[in-house]
């Protein structure tokens, strides 16, 4: 009995040990380094000030200054809220665009599916920045697309709007770059659905609308959740797309953090921003998990 207990305990450690070690090494430790950095003073030329005073009069040791600073100016909270808004909008648009595509691929003949998936991930074959710059041309004021859109708006008596360097351009870029991350988990999920379930639903009186909302959609929720996570979190941290496609007012958290490390060289404040972001994401993930656990009991 005791022997058995010991072996199960040993097995448990053997099984959960490596992932635990991995998480400690690559997630917990870096996070801890950042937490410590956020409580320190910035160095004279970037980096961090030494923890123990070398010169009198210099600020050393630990401080809550960066957190006080974060909450003293509402602009930071505002940028956080705006970033979460952009991330949610991007996730939603990605979902709306990816779902029909994933359904189409999942319902195609088996021999065509791999090819269609390949087409979905093909954009990854070219450089990310080049693809985003391409949108600068597409959305630029003299592009055929811009001209067509503004021409159309003209019919409704709306003055021409610049498409580039706007929140719209940022959203387009975000959706374009992250769409495959939504399509793939959705497709993987939808492809596993047993088609006989739809036959059964129809046989029992369900029309196309009910077949989708009562069978396909609830069964696809795990795919929706992982797709949403794969889009939402990277969009939150993204700085290149707002930099390239956004206007001066389209700064997001990612830009803010990048500036602290590469521009202003205020590492403690950059760390603070990163930690606030991590906390916000974890909170959101926790809430989502709780809601989904209540919604669909597997």
Cα distance between residue 125 and residue 204, in whole Å:
46
Nearer residue to other proteins within complex by CB, 75 or 296: 296
> Could you tell me if 270 and 261 are in contact, meaning their C-beta atoms sit under 8 angstroms apart?
yes
CB of 227 to other proteins, least distance (A): 18
Nearer residue to other proteins within complex by CB, 130 or 204: 204
Cα distance between residue 133 and residue 176, in whole Å:
12
207 binds other proteins (CB under 8 A): yes
* Ranges within 215-254 binding other proteins (CB under 8 A): 215, 218-219
CB of 188 to other proteins, least distance (A): 17
55 binds other proteins (CB under 8 A): no
Cα distance between residue 150 and residue 144, in whole Å:
10
Torsion of CA 54, 57, 60, 61, to 10 degrees: 110
Cα distance between residue 199 and residue 195, in whole Å:
7
Q: Which of 163, 128, 145 is closest to 247 using CA atoms?
A: 163
Residue 56 backbone class (left: φ over 0; alpha: ψ -120 to 50; beta: rest): beta
CB of 109 to other proteins, least distance (A): 16
Q: Which stretch binds other proteins (CB under 8 A): 3-11, 150-158, 195-203, 243-251?
A: 195-203
294 binds other proteins (CB under 8 A): no
Q: Which stretch binds other proteins (CB under 8 A): 8-16, 29-37, 190-198, 235-243?
A: 190-198
**Footprint of other proteins (CB under 8 A):** 194, 196-197, 199-207, 210, 214-215, 218-219, 296-298
């Amino acid at each position: 009995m005791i022997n058995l207990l010991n072996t199960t305990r040993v097995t448990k450690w053997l099984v959960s040990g490596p992932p635990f070690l991995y998480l400690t090494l690559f997630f917990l430790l870096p996070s801890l380094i950042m937490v410590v950095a956020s409580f320190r003073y910035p160095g004279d030329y970037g980096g961090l000030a030494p923890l123990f005073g070398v010169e009198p009069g210099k600020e050393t040791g630990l401080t809550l200054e960066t957190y006080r600073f974060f909450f003293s100016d509402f602009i930071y909270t505002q940028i956080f809220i705006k970033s979460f808004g952009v991330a949610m909008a991007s996730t939603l648009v990605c979902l709306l665009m990816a779902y029909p595509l994933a359904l189409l691929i999942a319902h195609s003949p088996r021999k065509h599916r791999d090819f269609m998936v390949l087409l979905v991930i093909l954009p990854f074959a070219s450089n990310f920045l080049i693809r985003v710059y391409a949108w600068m041309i597409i959305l630029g004021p003299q592009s055929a697309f811009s001209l067509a859109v503004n021409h159309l708006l003209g019919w409704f008596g709306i003055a021409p709007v610049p498409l580039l360097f706007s929140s719209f351009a940022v959203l387009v870029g975000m959706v374009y770059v992250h769409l495959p991350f939504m399509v793939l988990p959705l497709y993987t999920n939808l492809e596993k659905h047993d088609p006989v379930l739809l036959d059964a639903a129809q046989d029992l009186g369900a029309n196309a609308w009910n077949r989708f909302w009562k069978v396909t959609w609830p069964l696809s929720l795990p795919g929706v959740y992982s797709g949403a996570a794969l889009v939402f979190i990277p969009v939150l941290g993204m700085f290149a797309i707002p930099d390239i496609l956004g206007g001066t007012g389209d700064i997001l958290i990612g830009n803010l953090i990048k500036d602290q490390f590469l521009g202003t060289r205020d590492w403690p404040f950059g760390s603070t921003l990163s930690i606030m972001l991590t906390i916000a994401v974890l909170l959101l993930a926790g809430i989502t998990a709780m809601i989904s656990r209540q919604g669909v009991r597997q």
